[in-house]
Amino acid sequence: MATLPGFERAMVVGHDRGARVGHRWALDRPDQVERLAVLDIVPTREMFRRLDASLASGYWHWLFHMRPDLPERLVGPDIRGYLEYFFERWTYNRHGLTADAVDGYVRSFSRPGALRASLDDYRAIEEDIALDDIDAAEGHRLTMPVLALWGSVGLPARLPTLDIWREYADDVTGAEIPECGYFIPEEQPGALSAHLAPFLADRTNR
């Protein structure tokens, strides 16, 4: 979209996998990304650099999803049950995920090829980390303002999230959102807007 007529730069907001795509986009094409907001992540390579028993207990699904074919066999027959396992354990405000929202997730993952495609994203992690390692070795950093947000009971709360991002970016702000799990937009939309709106409206680097 940033290359369409009338668009030169974008303010990018991403959650989880979308935030990882945004991070890579901002590294590869910093001329296109004016500001970057990342929700519920730290850089991918840091997940494995800091992997210990506590982190592994929360991110076990990463290693499971990386296995070829087995996840499809085990998850495919009961996609709803698998997703609801995470909905129940990754939320602080369970009411934020309405029945319609849950049905939407199930429909999306149940489409032909969707489950395999989502798992293949995890299977590409080794390649992603190789690219991240090259950027780190060459001293590439994010130069645009970065906002990092995560829920107080989300998995990134187990890590020094802001300190980690400051190893990768020059201008980092962020906050832990209270009474919130993984699903920040659904669980705490007001708090999310309160952080995002001033960050995206700031014109100091335009």
Q: Residue 122 CB: number of other CB atoms within 10 A? A: 18
Rounded mean pLDDT of 120-144? 96
- Give the predicted TM-score (pTM) of the model: 0.92
pLDDT for res 2? 57
What secondary structure does DSSP assign to 59-109, as a single string? Answer: SHHHHHHHSSSHHHHHHGGGHHHHHHHHHHHS-SSGGGS-HHHHHHHHHHH
**Residue 179 region by backbone torsions, left for phi larger than 0, else alpha for psi between -120 and 50, else beta:** left
Q: For the residues 165-176, what does the mean pLDDT come to? A: 98
Q: 58-104: per-residue pLDDT in tens?
A: 999 999 999 999 999 999 999 999 999 999 999 999 888 999 999 99
Mean pLDDT for the chain overall? 94
Instruction: Give the Cα separation of 196 and 147 in Å (integer).
Output: 8
Domains of the chain with CATH codes: 10-201 (3.40.50.1820)
